Chains A and B, each alone.
Chain A
């Protein structure tokens, strides 16, 4: 761990704001998000639907379409600013330095092209090698993600493969150019438990072997706690809490994180009532005043509705956006 601390982060996102200018008003989908990922590290970006986690991933790759745009903030890949880069510059980055894995692998795969054509295309778009060498790379990539009989699979069309197999092909494509960062957006949500375990195993192994930094976007806290080194919890366009996985799971500071953890069934509380968070996530069109979690928060005080809480660091390398984080009480008692 201490050896890794001195390394500068691979990807730094600072105060990113991506807003959508709709007829109904401005949707602040991402509203001041900051985080870093280092080489070989897995960052879990957790949140419920509509919290802005996918838009954060799309913003990093410059994939936000009108009416949305990045309003402000910086995205630095190994020190180089990506925000404001033109389309040609972004094309050199996408699929090469930063790759993305989507929830639905058919978003990555072209249904009318054979698997080998697609992988060779991805390699040759960024590297000057011939087709034979590219095909060799493709076969190795498929073998590395645990696809049996890779030579045969290269000649298949995506519809001939199962869901889990397609997702492996998508992962093989993401890793093939040895990117610095991979953004994985709910890649195992649609898969079965045994297939999900296979994919998590491959992802864990590849990150360790290649030193690729990974952002794993998901709503599933169990998956993230099993996989990630650090967790960032998002709510209504902001990261409300960030820290090492073991710290966050063992001692959540933000009431929302605590609520999320409490609402997941676990073995030692079988049959007991789950700690539910009352109410619904707010509309990003008209977020509540002050802290956006305050209407659902059991610890809210009058102050919470007046201003949005700033990011504080009540413990070492733990960031939280809350006026009344849970740690204060523990220290007092």
Chain B
């Protein structure tokens, strides 16, 4: 165990310089954008150039780039202050935090759905390799991987509209938007929710299914399964062992799952008008709301790092064959 603890400590320590480099990359990316937040006012005849200069001074945009970067970094480290949004005139951290609820909620639901569908189907396909259903599922999985999210969203919206379905776009019907939580509101949410879940989840379902099927096929042909059979274990016990062994490597996928689904919500939310952080990030990008964009990218990178670490830890705990170096 002490081995594992020192591994975790070491990984956490490595994360500090990594996040530092990531913060530089985030800053450089946003800094390379042509123009800044105030460029959109340049063509506005109501705002004089002097006013823009004054604003630029007020927002600190007249300072040199390295000064702004270190100020931003210093505020994060000392005050956990991720900067100020230019367009919302509020701290970036609060803005992101407010939109995290739905983003995380929808992401977790999608992941749950993906695993509930993909794993059983993958197991079925591997045990019935070359059967008709195996071919069908594999083909559908391929199509799922190949569908661009935005296109799937448009097609689903089209079919829903054509069948007279009313619950498209957003998460609630207008009547329920400001209403307090009730059973009716919950049902309304469910009616809206399935389209986004499918759109965000489908490519992941296809990918997960293929990995599960391939893993299990590898395990089924492993010598230890033959040994189990030779010892006269009944088929269902053999299968149980096979599935258990095939599931282990999937843990490392789970680590990447959250950030992937998280970023998958961006496109779906823009098309389907969902109150997640996606459209917010997109608008911030277009408006040159620098600190908002940087903090969001930092957040996603951080989640990825943590996810990978958690995956490595649980893999080590689950599979005694894996040694931590």
Partners in one complex: no
